[in-house]
Amino acid sequence: MKANEEADVVVVGGGPGGSTLATIVAMRGHRVVLLEKEKFPRWQIGESLLPSTVHGVCRLTGVADELAKAGFTKKRGGTFRWGANPAPWTFAFSVSPKMTGETSHAYQVERSKFDQILLDHARHMGVDVREQHEVDDVIEEEGRVRGVSYTDTDGNAGTIRAKYVVDASGNKSRIYQRSGATRQYSEFFRSLALFGYYEGGKRLPEPNSGNIFCAAFESGWFWYIPLSPTLTSVGVVVRRELASKIQGDPEEALTSLIAECPAISDCLSDAQRVTEGQYGELRVRKDYSYANTKFWRPGMVLVGDAACFVDPVFSSGVHLATYGALLAGRSINSVLTQSVDEDTAFREFEERYRREYGVFYEFLVSFYDLHVDEDSYFWSAKKVTDSTTTDLESFVSLVGGVSSGETALTTVPLAERYKNRSSEFAAAVDQVVENKEQSMVPLMKSSIVKHAMQEGAKEQVRVLLGEDAGLETPLFDGGLIASADGLSWSRPT
Ligand SMILES: Cc1cc2nc3c(=O)[nH]c(=O)nc-3n(C[C@H](O)[C@H](O)[C@H](O)COP(=O)(O)OP(=O)(O)OC[C@H]3O[C@@H](n4cnc5c(N)ncnc54)[C@H](O)[C@@H]3O)c2cc1C
């Protein structure tokens, strides 16, 4: 048995949920240990991301630039052969004003690379990351969780005591049960997925070549995700009643289901299935949707698949994991510095997290009505998000993960905007000095000056009209708002 160690927070699991939460808490200077049972890189499903993750949470944790350099396929939206309309229809994230310009895309990622980048970043931000350490149980004393026990790859057992244990251990682990929660499975979404990888599949015409393509057919639906110019992730989802279609030999099952769906068989007409390496296996996964009855208890909080999961057609898994991690990280940071009491901080976390889960869940129920066309889906999105924008904009905000209106998910923070623009500003000053310019035109053209003028104008509007020009407001009556840096909670003034 190793010595009894201590930390502020122990995180179980190094997927996107765990590494995001660990980073957010370490950024506030707390001692965080993350225990991950596997050695990274490791394969995982969940390859199509949303802009809220890429430009919201990942920018807040400081890993967005590294993701931008990794060469992942840019996903500008989605293309669907779905519903009453026999022709495929496409949406672009850029339709929503919350995802304009440089934030109007997400990525299609190889999860082994994406998860490694996030975990390495957590390390870089001061998290004590220990791979090949499997958490066996939580330590509970006097009605509160107070740490974990683990075993490392050499069979050494150890314990770590902490003020908080975060369960981010995904959907297979049973650690969530120690929160006292039960897992409630949806009666509506009970499906099975069979999937593999192909080289040489076709691409949608530009500008949609990086889109996820989802095609519904008699037995279920396919996803078609372009991971690189030549590699494609292909999976079929069938309802539980049709489970026999994916039993038996997986190769035969997938081949015959592809033949049932002309849109996908056409895309794969010149493609070869990958049969080696991490992508060589055909895999089957239950994708039953569930939510736990509780997301936290004193000393313990659940994020990502450990807390909830909803049908994958709109690629919400990593979004819910990283958004849940942001919310839980804020609550932990607030309680550790005693700026908000535990009950209030975690109620805010759970209410916001359940709202986001609920919006996807409710919308997806209407999306499985295949007898209506896309306009009806857009209208449903407006209804479930209670939005005042157009039907299409409401739909795009929802499936982009930004319907909560959280500014941290959409707005580049002021400090960062100035940082990005300061080099441009310095160049403009140099130009004035070097050219002995009489006019200040280069300075006025620089976006930092333009921006300062815009902010000034906004401030005037706010003073004159009392208008909220982009300020954070509570999502619920009497609730909290995010702090200026997005890393903890504040009380609204
Ligand atoms: C068929 C299907 C398709 C999907 N497609 C998409 C998609 O396109 N886009 C999308 O966003 N999502 C998708 N998802 C969902 C996505 O896979 C998950 O929601 C996402 O991976 C959750 O992240 P996480 O961090 O919660 O958990 P995970 O990514 O599962 O990470 C959990 C980590 O915890 C570790 N761990 C487990 N137990 C222990 C332990 N006892 N001790 C220490 N470590 C432990 C695991 O090794 C793992 O690394 C899909 C899911 C399914 C089923």
Please tell me the least confidently modeled range out of 100-104, 369-373, 451-455. 451-455
Q: Is the pLDDT of residue 431 over 50?
A: yes
174-199: b (≥16 Cβ within 10 Å) or e:
ebbebbebebeebeebbbbbbbbbbe
Residue 57, pLDDT score:
96
Query: Of the ranges 120-124, 250-254, 368-372, 424-428, which one carries the lowest mean pLDDT score?
Result: 424-428
135 CB near ligand 1 (under 6 Å): yes
Poorest-pLDDT segment among 40-44, 274-278, 474-478:
474-478
Tens digit of each residue's pLDDT (9 = 90 or more) over 158-179:
999 999 999 999 999 999 999 9
| pLDDT recorded at residue 408 | 84
What is the distance in A from the centroid of ligand 1 to the CA of 433? 54
Q: Is 117 in the pocket of ligand 1 (CB under 6 A)?
A: no
Least confident of 199-213, 217-231, 456-470: 456-470
Confidence tier at 423 by pLDDT (50, 70, 90): low
Which atom of ligand 1 is closest in space to residue 19's alpha carbon?
Answer: 25
Copy the structure tokens of residue 147.
């740490």
| Token pair of 293 as six digits | 């009855």
Q: Does residue 64 line the site of ligand 1, with CB under 6 A? A: no
Least confident residue range of 28-32, 182-186, 304-308, 420-424: 420-424
Give 14 Cα–ligand 1 centroid separation in angstroms. Answer: 9
**pLDDT beyond 80 at 380:** yes
Tell me the one-letter amino acid at 29: G
CA–CA separation, 92 and 78 (whole Å):
7
CA 210 to ligand 1 center in whole angstroms? 23
Average the pLDDT over 463-490 and give the result: 76
Judged against a pLDDT cut of 80, whether residue 419 lies above it is answered with no
Lowest mean pLDDT among 77-86, 88-97, 311-320, 368-377: 368-377
The end-to-end CA distance of the chain, in Å, is 50
Task: Report the alpha-carbon distance of residue 164 to residue 159 in Å, rounded.
Answer: 14
Ligand 1 pocket member 57 (CB < 6 A): no
Task: Give the atom of ligand 1 at the shortest distance from the alpha carbon of 53.
Answer: 11
Please report the atom of ligand 1 found closest to the CA of residue 171. Answer: 30
- CA gap 419, 447 in Å, rounded: 12
Q: Does the N-terminal peptide bond of residue 41 adopt cis geometry, omega within 30 degrees of 0?
A: yes
Going from the Cα of 306 to the center of ligand 1, the distance in angstroms, rounded, reads 9
Other C-beta atoms closer than 10 Å to the C-beta of 327 total 28
pLDDT cut 90: percent of the chain above it? 76
- Tens of pLDDT, residues 265-308: 999 999 999 999 999 999 999 888 999 999 999 999 999 999 99
Strand-pairing partners, residue 232, are 198, 226
Residue scoring higher pLDDT (292 or 471)? 292
Query: Which residue intervals of 126-261 are DSSP H helices?
Result: 250-260
Q: Specify the range with the lowest mean pLDDT, choosing from 232-246, 351-365, 445-459.
A: 445-459
Cα 112 from Cα 248, distance rounded (Å) = 28
Tell me the sheet residues that pair with 285: 193
Q: Which atom of ligand 1 is the closest one to the Cα of 35? A: 43
The structure's pTM equals 0.89
The tokens of 194 are what? 């069979």
Rounded Cα distance, 48 and 318, in Å: 8
Which atom of ligand 1 approaches the CA of 304 most closely? 26
63, 159 Cβ separation under 8 angstroms:
no
Looking at residue 467, its pLDDT comes to: 39
**C-alpha 67 to ligand 1 mean position (Å):** 19
Q: Is pLDDT at 437 greater than 50 in this prediction? A: no
Query: Mind listing the pLDDT tens digit for each residue in 125-153?
Result: 999 999 999 999 999 999 999 999 999 99
User: What is the biggest distance separating any 2 CA atoms in the chain, rounded to whole angstroms?
Assistant: 79
Report the DSSP beta bridge partners of residue 164. Answer: 9
CB 36 near ligand 1, within 6 Å: yes
Q: Which of 11, 44, 116, 222 to mutate to test the pocket of ligand 1 (most atoms within 8 A of CB)?
A: 44
Please compute the mean of the pLDDT values over residues 75-102 and round it to a whole number.
92
Please tell me the residue having the least CA distance from ligand 1 atom 29. 15
What's the mean pLDDT in 230-245? 95
Which residue in 330, 260, 352 sits closest to 489, CA to CA? 330
What is the pLDDT, as a whole number, of residue 413?
Answer: 47
Task: Round to whole Å and give the CA distance between 371 and 246.
Answer: 25
Residue-averaged pLDDT of the chain: 89
Can you tell me the distance from the alpha carbon of 35 to that of 12, in angstroms, rounded to the nearest whole number? Answer: 5
pLDDT, average across residues 322-345: 98
pLDDT one-digit tens code per residue, 391-414 = 999 999 998 999 988 888 886 544
Identify the DSSP state of 145: E
List % helix, strand, coil for the chain (3-state, nearest 5).
40, 25, 35
CA–CA distance, 274 with 233 (Å, rounded to integer):
10
